[in-house]
Structures are given as C-alpha cells and as structure tokens.
Amino acid sequence: MKVTIDKNAGFCWGVVRTIDIAEDSLKDKPKVFCLGDVIHNTVEVQRLNNLGLETITVEDFPKLPKGSRVLIRAHGEPPATYKLALEFGLELVDATCPIVIKVQERVRKFVDKGFQVVIFGKKNHAEVVGINGVTGNTSIVVLNKEEALESVDFTKPTVLFSQTTMDKQEFKEVADALRQKLDTLVIGSIEETAVEYHAKDTICGQVSGREKKLQLFAAENDIIIFTAGRKSSNGKVLYHICHDVNERTYFAETKEEIDWSWFEGANSVGITGATSTPHWVMRDFKRLIEEKFGIEEEVL
C-alpha cells in the first residue's frame, strides 16, 4: 500500500498569516484571547490553546482585564466589534485575511451608493457576520438561488457578493438566477427600466483554484482520507469535490475517527484536507496508517 499526502493541500496564505500573527502575539504575552476559533480546525486550535491562546466571544469583553490583547481571526469582524473593544480598553490584533478585508471594502462602497447587498453564504458564519455588519446588518444572506429569488427586492439596485469559501458553480447559479429574473421583469414594457445589478465573484482563488488538482488527486488513489474541521466551509466544498470523483472518500476530523475497514482492498491512499488543515496533521494521519499496515516510511 502506498500512502501519499496531497502536495497541494495545507494552509492557504491567509491562514498561514493568521497563525503567524497569533504565535507572534503570544511571544510577549502569556495569554492572548481570540474571538472565536482562530481557524476551523480542532487540533490546530488545541495546539494554540496550549500556547496560551484562549477562545472567547464578544460577550466576554466586559469580563476581560483592561489592556487585554484580543486577536481578530482571519474571518474578520463587523465594525461594532472594533467599537466595543475600544469602549472596554482592549488591545486588538487584527489578523483578518486581506481578501476578506477587500470584500468588506467593496461591500461598503456599494452600501454608500444605496445598493441592496445580497451575500451568497452561511448566515451565521463569522465571515458573513462581519460582511453583514458593514451593511448595518441589512444585507440579504442566501444559500441558493431559490432563497435569493424569494428574498430579493427586484425594484432596488442590487449587488451580489460571496462568502470567500463557497462553491463557485453554486455562486454562478445564484448570480444567473437573479440576472434572469431582472431581465424577465422588464420584458414587454418600454416604460419600465431595469434596475442596476452586479454579481461580484469574491470566492477565494485558493479554494476554487484547487478543484482540478484535487479531482486528479482523488482519481489517482483507491481511497481518499479527507481531514478538516467540521466547521470548515471550504472543507465541506473540497470534500464533496473529492467524493464526486472518488466515492471512497472518507472524512475524519481526527485520527481517532479513522475506520480501518475503509482500507479494505486499497493499494493507494491519498490524504488531503481543507485550506485550514495543517500539514502536521496530515503527516500524523500518514504515519498512523503506515504504522497500522507495517509500511516503511519513504526516505526522500
């Protein structure tokens, strides 16, 4: 049996940046607080917890000593969080992914122009909460084209954005559905004027760009072990990309979740994960599988 780690898997640069900032913040402070899990990966969160990074929520602000250092993770936060931290005298360390910051800036420009903002994403996801906060919590958050068609006011100028970790094809379906609806509304009426509409594909290229390489990797192996945090949105997207190509794709957040019956008849095993899955986690999976089946580790 051959066990291979996907060379294209591992942290995206935004996550690498956030982890670096978190570790740097802990160098001169024994305790740093993080608003929510620093990334959506349980084992990496635990590693950083052991170094002194404690996960909190905004509701914990009143309990923190004045001057406490609080990390804003890659997903970002709404403007209200910054204001509240200032009121409580907290030191904010902003590790928001630059791509997410750019989305927030673009959204703000459309809000200033009076546009109705539609976000393709998960309503309670931290990134969407932050983007929605930029609109004054007035955006319409949808998960599919059906929700979009039911929720959008087609008399208003509209702009569609996406959570950065969503599926590109599903975004296109929502964008096209809104476009077609607007076109239909003005057919046959010379007095009626179509409202202005824009669809902005703000899905991270490191998520969508992995699709073809991931499909090839899934096809090259008898089985795929996909490891990611269960809260990871891009993990869900990438897992399904694998599974669509190779039905013997199995999800395991931790090594303890491995079912050894998965490996029956397999000659090649591929290990991959989300953009928030550390390489050290995938190496641990590989080591465990090789030990279980008595495979000598390949020396490069």
Give dist(CA 259, CA 248) in Å, integer: 12
For residue range 133-145, what is the model confidence (pLDDT) as tens digits? 999 999 999 999 9
Into which CATH architecture does domain 2-10+208-292 fall? 3-Layer(aba) Sandwich (3.40)
pLDDT tens digits, one per residue of 38-91: 988 888 999 999 999 999 999 999 999 999 999 999 999 999 999 999 999 999
Q: Are 181 and 160 in contact (CB under 8 A)?
A: no
Let me know: does 223 contact 246? Beta carbons within 8 Å. Answer: yes
Task: Kindly list the catalytic residues.
Answer: 127
Let me know: does 37 contact 45? Beta carbons within 8 Å: yes
Query: 13-96 adopts what CATH topology?
Result: Rossmann fold (3.40.50)
Phi and psi angles of residue 2, each rounded to the nearest 5 degrees, phi first:
-110, 130
Going by C-beta distance under 8 Å and a sequence separation of 6 or more, which residues neighbour residue 232? 40, 41, 165, 274, 276, 277
Domain ranges of the chain: 2-10+208-292, 13-96, 99-163+168-202
Confidence (pTM): 0.83
Helix (H, G, I), strand (E, B) or coil at 300: coil
> What class does CATH assign to 99-163+168-202?
alpha beta
SS3 of 17-66: HHHHHHHHHCCCCCCEEEECCCCCCHHHHHHHHHHCEEEECHHHHHHCCC
Segment 130-184, tens digit of pLDDT: 999 999 999 999 999 999 999 999 999 999 999 998 989 999 999 999 999 988 7
